[in-house]
Structure 1
């Protein structure tokens, strides 16, 4: 019975934080606000999470992995390698930054205010880079794999995604345009996007 209660409180904290992060952003959300939304006291939050950043990681990591899993599933259903390549950038640079009211920007806010004692984690970034490399290699002809394999290109894709996440937060009406995606696809594939 006690274990069930602990799981309910843990879930309530995460649900409250997710709602508040989406509505207010990481910087404007406080642990007392999260506690109030979960129906517990602020000290109780610290029984489950050591910091607000740890709460965000507990939400953001599975959230991002779900976005990547959905993209991967969608890519598997596309026959055209050129269309798969384009779709990677449409999702990562246009759709993901806007998804769920720009939720991804919370991590950008958190990292920009983090200190060395906040235990910033890089595991998710490394995983995303591996997934991006795999998706790109699957969408590119073998003779173009050297552009991706063993390079920092997947990291650059993540950094561009972070830039579009910040851009979406500060200038919401502006997104990554088709011309940018076409240019990047052309550079990687060596093919004219009109031929897709």
Structure 2
């Protein structure tokens, strides 16, 4: 078995990124990735067992960087309301609005794959865990009788929906109302420890 080439791997990822960005995940095939990357489909399979594996290699570091940056932005805000506004805006607007269409491609990928394709929920669980950490910085939701895990899960479900609708005509008036509703709902259930009752 000959060693795998970093140059070939980079060519695969560049080709896949181009196709996912332009055409979306569903319309991109392994043979198109191979052709765009200048190789045979059989050679592509030597490097990646599936289109999903390629997508995750591209998307995972990007999502982790986005969520880490959001965590830093939330930490820099003062008070529960400002922190929640920053979190909600990041999850429902900033990250899904990426110009390269990574969010759309990943949501498409997850919607058409499952365990037989090698899909695991590791990245989703990681994101939910980081959002949970952010929520715990905002205040004590548990004290208010609300599961912060459920809130994290709900935010990721909404994130998925926003990602799927990315190519539809925007409805900014409803997006703004959704953000306000989410912040109001969360604020009604928690007070940051440093804020007076």
Q: Same fold (TM over 0.5)?
A: yes
CA shift at 1:38, angstroms?
A: 2.0
Q: What do the CA deviations read for 1:38-75 (whole angstroms, capped 9, x no partner)?
A: 22222111111001111111111111111101111222
If the length of structure 1 is used for normalisation, what is the TM-score?
Answer: 0.85
Aligned residue for 1:22?
21
> Which of 152, 157, 166 is the matching residue for 2:155?
157
Aligned residue for 1:194?
none
Between Structure 1 and Structure 2, how many residues are aligned? 187
Moved over 4 A (4+): 141-146
Which is further off, 89-98 or 71-80? Answer: 71-80
Aligned residue for 1:173?
170
Higher helix share goes to which structure?
A: 1
Given the superposition, is the C-alpha separation of residues 115 and 76 from structure 1 closer, same or farther in structure 2, using an over 3 Å criterion?
Answer: closer
Given the superposition, is the C-alpha separation of residues 143 and 33 from structure 1 closer, same or farther in structure 2, using an over 3 Å criterion?
Answer: closer
Report the Cα distance in structure 2 between the residues aligned to 1:120 and 1:9, rounded to whole angstroms: 24
Aligned residue for 2:10?
11
Given the superposition, is the C-alpha separation of residues 61 and 168 from structure 1 closer, same or farther in structure 2, using an over 3 Å criterion?
Answer: same
In structure 2, stretches of 5+ residues that fail to align are 190-197
CA shift at 1:141, angstroms?
A: 5.2
If the length of structure 2 is used for normalisation, what is the TM-score?
Answer: 0.84
Native 8 Å contact 2:13 2:54 kept in 1: yes
Report the Cα distance in structure 1 between the residues aligned to 2:153 and 2:94, rounded to whole angstroms: 19
Superposition map of 1:1-196 within 5 A: 6-140=5-139, 146-149=145-148, 151-169=149-167, 171-175=168-172, 177-190=175-188
CA shift at 1:37, angstroms?
A: 2.4
